[in-house]
Amino acid sequence: MSTETPLVVVVSYNADERELYGAALESAGFCVVRLSDPNEALRVAKSQQPCVVITRIKQPGHSITGIDLTHAIKSDPATETIRVVIITSLVQREYRDAATNARCDAYLVLPVLPDELLSVVKRLATQVSR
């Protein structure tokens, strides 16, 4: 990680989840942007270059899923180094395969405790090369 405060984007339709994970990340020294809209998360990824984006697969009411968001981030040379963590309750192999094909960096199945997520984010943030 650089000497700047590393930025993490948390995108989820669940406000409690955004707050819980966001607070844990902030207490560990990360700057956190909490969003409910994956399209906005993609705009933030392009404009602010976070070290990690955390997303749910399902994004009710939006035109893209977390897998679509992951693919968009990883297929753009300007954002491909951003690490993406998917958090989901979906355990079916097809979802894990789709996430892998989209090049997600970590796939976590709920329940995910804040400490578990923090450990994954810290590991991934140190891998980001700018």
pLDDT band at 4 (very low <50, low <70, confident <90, very high): confident
Token pair in block for residue 19: 């707050």
Q: Is residue 49 part of a domain?
A: yes
pLDDT band at 90 (very low <50, low <70, confident <90, very high): very high
39-61: pLDDT as tens digits: 999 999 999 999 999 999 999 99
**pTM for the structure as a whole:** 0.94
Contact (CB, 8 A) for 118 and 25: yes
* pLDDT of 121: 98
- The whole domain housing 96 covers 7-127
68-78: pLDDT as tens digits: 999 999 999 99
Q: Is residue 1 part of a domain?
A: no
Q: Are strands 52-56 and 106-109 parallel, antiparallel or unpaired?
A: unpaired
- The upper half-sphere exposure of residue 15, i.e. CA atoms within 13 Å in the direction of its Cβ, equals 0
Contact (CB, 8 A) for 11 and 53: yes
CATH code assigned at 80? 3.40.50.2300
Task: Please state the domain count of the chain.
Answer: 1
